Chain A
Amino acid sequence: MLRLEKRPQPSRTLSYVTPVLAVLITMVAGGLLFALLGKDPVAAIRTIFWDPLFGEFSFYYRPQLLVKGGPLILIALGLSLGFRAGIWNIGAEGQYIMGAITGAGVALALYPLEAWWIFPAMIIAGALGGWAWAMIPALLKVRFGTNEILVSLMLVYVAEQFLASMALGLMKNPEGFGFPGSRNLQQYASAHNAEIIADTGMHWGVAAAFIAAIMAYVMMNRHILGYQIRLTGEAPRAARFSGVKPARLVLFCMGTAGALAGLAGVFEVSGPSGQISTGFNVGYGFTAIIVAFLGRLHPFGIVLAGLLMALTYIGGEAAQSTMQLPGAAIQVFQGMLLFFLLAVDMLTNYRVRFVAREAV
């Protein structure tokens, strides 16, 4: 008979091994899923995980890895702070949208002025937009004890509607022949988030993601705030006795997550996406939740997890065009990954023992 025994300390080794294990199990289960859909599982896994990196067209796919990974890493880094402290901001998708709208709003208001300060101003506006949107659930939680999970999520739907109204109304391109969507910021030099090094996918948002990862690492391990976040997550009562102000922590974690998600939004709208449109958001805010957990809420883990998740997006698209694998299959695949991750996570906290059934 199997029995679980709680480890006195979570296993360090296993905490590194389990994410890899989860990815491998997901590959096997995903292969089964693809086989069920009538596709060759080995070819599908190779198309998703190998070809974009080392295949014939890797020169095209590799830059995409950074383009897609950048926003995922930025958002996931912010989320991980809160998740560590037991603060569940799951409305990053909404904060991402609002950051894009406020950032693009600055550019669209100033068009066609050309000046060096426009892009920095957009970045600040984007971060503030995301921050403000995250402050709504944060303040409601601090002031009224409202559940931040539900409020932040409801605000995603509100933000989506707001995005639609912007794309169809206020921000619509006056020279767009009546089509929905704003002016394309890629054609507005002062607002364009261009690649720093051509053809690498490396734009300012990706740079920001890497900088944010380093800053998050320093904060979590070397700063009192990081210590308080970890303490609150592991022992909330002890944290309060030691003088941690839970309200301040909620505001900080939610605010940072919102600002980072807003940054991701403004970098996306001024770069790869280019315009405010009804289909602007593609679910990065939700996928980032998976990224945060897959990276074990550790900044460097999140960078790796973000790149891996970007790979599934890119490989998924490749498999969609070359193998006619349905796009939704990749979504299922990503969902499965989180499942297996949570399931194998048990191994870090518990020891599985085989014991003879005890006489009752």
Chain B
Amino acid sequence: MDVSAINPVLLLASLMVAATAVLIAAVGELIVEKAGVLNLGVEGMMITGAICGFAAAVTTGSPTIGFIAAAAGGAGLSLLFALLTQFALANQVASGLALTLFGLGLSSLIGQGYVGIKPPPTPELDIPLLSDIPVLGPVLFSHDLVVYFGLALVAVVWAFLKFTRGGLILRAVGENHAAAHALGYKVVRIRVLAILFGGACAGLGGAYVSLVRVPQWTEGMTGGAGWIALALVVFASWKPWRVLLGAYLFGGVTVLQLNLQAAGIAVPAEYLSMSPYLITILVLVIMSADRSAAPASLGRSFHASQ
């Protein structure tokens, strides 16, 4: 074993890449939950986004179109969830699980012709000058556009929730849908929009796995990233910047265990592969002592006649 072979600069740089997929998906889910909806289908929407993005990118040769298709795919799937929970008033937990099971099946059905293909490379954005700074350059300033998009998304969502009228309405709907309805806000419409946003984000996150991180298509390749994104939202107490922190923590553990596997540490690879999931559980345990941050109407159906 040779732990000194692990280059800390490369480790930090790949940490940002490893964190991006769950970060984007988790920020999307944050908005959904802030609107009072618990969508457990993140994993299904991510994997659907992964294959939609992959297929579109391979067919057109453009990763950009791939990412757009992924967002559309994720949003499309989330529309099913919106129909079920907002119009058919189905149980949100069950509907989310249905979405995940359906998404996993759908993705492997679509993905049959795409196994073993390489997607077009997503260009890295070497920011001139900044990327030449030793250590900081490769860590912070030489990634692809999506990494920065993820960071920007966190900032935008934070500002939206904190400073805008729209954000206030969204939070009101999530905290007390009856009161929001009494004030004349369209609870169902707002929730549907939030669900679609969450779906698009999950799709993007999934495509980041299939187009950049891995990059290829294999069945079930998101490997629970969607569930980790859900856990991150709890970990973050529904605060955007803490989602970022959580995503980097998770990315760090993932990258570290992969590096330790490569370095040939004496622990079997399977036990190292467990670590991201175990750490997620640990973090959930620590954070769940305080549940006051959760939106008060989270997971409850709204029906105007009640």
Interface, chain A (partner B; CB < 8 A): 3-6, 88, 90, 140, 144-147, 149-151, 153-158, 161-162, 164-165, 168-169, 286-287, 289-290, 293, 326, 328-336, 338-339, 342-343, 345-346, 349-350
Q: List 23 A-B contacts (CB under 8 A).
A: A6-B306, A140-B284, A144-B289, A147-B284, A150-B281, A154-B227, A155-B277, A157-B277, A165-B268, A165-B270, A290-B101, A326-B109, A328-B105, A328-B219, A331-B109, A334-B105, A335-B102, A338-B97, A338-B98, A338-B101, A339-B84, A345-B90, A346-B90
Closest CB-CB distance, B32 to chain A, in whole Å? Answer: 15
Interface, chain B (partner A; CB < 8 A): 40, 80, 83-84, 88-91, 93-95, 97-98, 101-106, 108-109, 112, 219, 223-224, 227-228, 230-231, 234, 268, 270-271, 273-274, 277-278, 280-281, 284-285, 288-289, 291, 303, 305-306
Which residues of A have CB within 8 Å of B231?
147, 150, 154
Extra pairs beyond A146-B285, A154-B228 (18, CB < 8 Å):
A3-B305, A144-B288, A145-B291, A150-B227, A151-B284, A154-B227, A157-B224, A158-B277, A168-B270, A290-B101, A326-B109, A328-B106, A331-B108, A334-B101, A335-B98, A335-B102, A342-B98, A346-B89
Task: Give the nearest-CB partner of A90 in chain B.
Answer: B97
Using known A-B contacts A4-B303, A140-B285, A144-B285, determine if residue A349 contacts B89 with beta carbons closer than 8 Å.
yes
Q: Is the interface of A mostly helix, strand, loop or mixed?
A: helix
Using known A-B contacts A338-B102, A339-B84, determine if residue A147 contacts B109 with beta carbons closer than 8 Å.
no
Using known A-B contacts A6-B305, A140-B285, A146-B284, determine if residue A154 contacts B224 with beta carbons closer than 8 Å.
yes
Task: Give the nearest-CB partner of A140 in chain B.
Answer: B285
Using known A-B contacts A140-B285, A146-B288, A326-B109, determine if residue A88 contacts B101 with beta carbons closer than 8 Å.
no
Q: Is the CB of A342 within 8 A of B94?
A: yes
List 3 tightest A-B contacts by C-beta distance, closest first: A331-B105, A335-B102, A165-B270
Q: Is the CB of B101 within 8 A of A149?
A: no
Which residues of B have CB within 8 Å of A149?
40, 93
Q: Is the CB of A161 within 8 A of B101?
A: no
Closest CB-CB distance, B43 to chain A, in whole Å? Answer: 9
Using known A-B contacts A4-B303, A157-B274, A329-B109, determine if residue A147 contacts B234 with beta carbons closer than 8 Å.
yes
Which residues of B have CB within 8 Å of A345?
88, 90
Closest CB-CB distance, A8 to chain B, in whole Å? Answer: 13
Which residues of B have CB within 8 Å of A162?
270, 274
Q: Is the CB of A161 within 8 A of B274?
A: yes
Which residues of A have CB within 8 Å of B271?
161, 165
Per the bound structure, the CA–CA distance linking A286 and B80 in Å amounts to 20
